[in-house]
Amino acid sequence: MKIHDLLPLLLLLLGVFSCEPPVVFTEAQPDVVPSSTHFQKTYQGIYLCTGDSATVRIGEKTIIKERHIQFESTLDEIKETKGIYIDGEYLYIEELDLPVPIEYLDGEIVTGSFFIADTLFQIGPKQVLKYYKGHQVLNRKLENKHWETSILSKDEQGNLTLWTTQLPEDLDQLKAITPVEDVSTPEHTRYLISPNIAEFRKLLDSKLIFEVCDYFERMDPSI
């Protein structure tokens, strides 16, 4: 891998839940469904993320995304790449705050490798899992006390689709299902909703505010 491809890949690997959700909820969804203490057994296993070729491991309480990355680059390319620099025998990537040992192949080319693992979800007070109609519903509490909700759906082959919220194409259609409060900022358009369970089911079935974010192909059902 060339060094100029490294930062976009890292942002992709770490960015599943890092963007600003355009639709948020007043509480973990669905509201009256009890929280789950673990992922359903049929969801647990090892998957390949087709978006970035990372490995995704779903255990009893966590979703972890990981990848081993190898790179080779010239010193000039590194100097020209923002957020990456060399100090002695190490390459530093500001996004990771991690020194990566490098090897000089000659006076102008270096190579190295590192392992990256990111916990995408871990069941706890601020990350609430619920099981609803065959789906695993992932709820993450934001700093403003609103909730971000994503959906994991399993197909007949055991592969998973990750759905995240999107801005509805027809806001009036959303308002016809549940009351909507505009909580936008100058930087981001955002709507706050508080659906009851019947309204949440309509949102889930219609996919009005949910879009496919990633696809995980099952590799091994065991952990």
Over 90: is that where the pLDDT of 221 sits?
no
Contacts of 136 (CB under 8 A, 6+ apart): 36, 39, 40, 43, 129, 130, 151, 152
Q: Distances from the Cα of 63 to the Cαs of 3, 46, 146, 152, 183, in angstroms?
A: 28, 10, 21, 11, 30
Task: Report pLDDT for 138.
Answer: 98
Over 90: is that where the pLDDT of 11 sits?
no
Over 90: is that where the pLDDT of 10 sits?
no
Over 70: is that where the pLDDT of 223 sits?
no
Over 90: is that where the pLDDT of 28 sits?
yes
Closest CA to 72 of 105, 40, 43, 39: 105
* Whole-prediction pTM: 0.84
Task: Report pLDDT for 190.
Answer: 95
Q: Do residues 22 and 166 lie in contact, with contact meaning Cβ atoms separated by under 8 Å?
A: yes
Q: What is the largest CA-CA distance in the chain?
A: 66
Q: What is the pLDDT of residues 175-216, one digit of tens each?
A: 999 999 999 989 889 999 999 999 999 999 999 999 999 999
Contacts of 180 (CB under 8 A, 6+ apart): 171, 174, 191, 192, 193
Average pLDDT over residues 120-130: 97
Q: What is the pLDDT of residues 36-80, one digit of tens each?
A: 999 999 999 999 999 888 999 999 999 999 988 888 888 888 888
For residues 44, 63, 209, 216, the Cα torsion angle rounded to the nearest 10 degrees is -60
- Within a 13 Å sphere around the CA of 151, how many CA atoms are in the beta-carbon half? 23
The CA distance from 70 to 111, in Å, is 8
Q: Do residues 10 and 95 lie in contact, with contact meaning Cβ atoms separated by under 8 Å?
A: yes
**Residues in a beta bridge with 36:** 129
pLDDT band for position 159 (50/70/90)? Answer: very high
Report the chain's mean pLDDT, rounded to a whole number: 89
